């Protein structure tokens, strides 16, 4: 199967901020975009608001399954880093 046919038949896109990717790497930018998407979705629905912030709830395992090209170890490392430092382009 050609790459073009595969993209059409099994299309699921993962997006990222070029600015974040430049500063943190493409894989980290993909994870940050995913988190950002769900935080904004929860904000618009007024869901998962705790301690003055909107949150998204997804386990490391669930995120790793969503991104089959990333390891659980990577997702854990990048989300732990996200919790302890401010990242560009993130709320």
Each residue's pLDDT tens digit in the chain (91 positions)? Answer: 565 555 555 678 899 999 999 999 999 999 999 999 999 999 999 999 999 999 998 999 999 999 999 999 999 999 887 554 444 444 4
Helices 26-45 & 72-84 angle (0-180, nearest 10): 60
- Burial class of residue 72 (count of CB atoms within 10 Å of its CB; 0-12, 13-18, 19+): middle
Cα Rg, the chain, nearest whole Å: 15
- 25 three-state secondary structure: coil
Q: Is residue 88 classed as helix, strand or coil in its secondary structure?
A: coil
pTM (two decimals): 0.74
Q: Which has the closest alpha carbon to 56: 29, 77, 81, 83?
A: 83
């Amino acid at each position: 199967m050609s790459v073009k046919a595969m993209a059409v038949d099994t299309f699921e896109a993962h997006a990222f901020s070029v600015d974040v990717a430049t500063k943190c790497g493409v894989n980290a930018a993909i994870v940050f975009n995913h988190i950002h998407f769900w935080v904004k979705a929860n904000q618009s629905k007024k869901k998962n608001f705790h301690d003055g912030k909107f949150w998204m709830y997804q386990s490391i395992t669930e995120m790793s399954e969503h991104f089959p090209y990333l390891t659980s170890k990577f997702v854990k490392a990048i989300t732990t880093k996200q919790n302890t430092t401010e990242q560009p382009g993130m709320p």
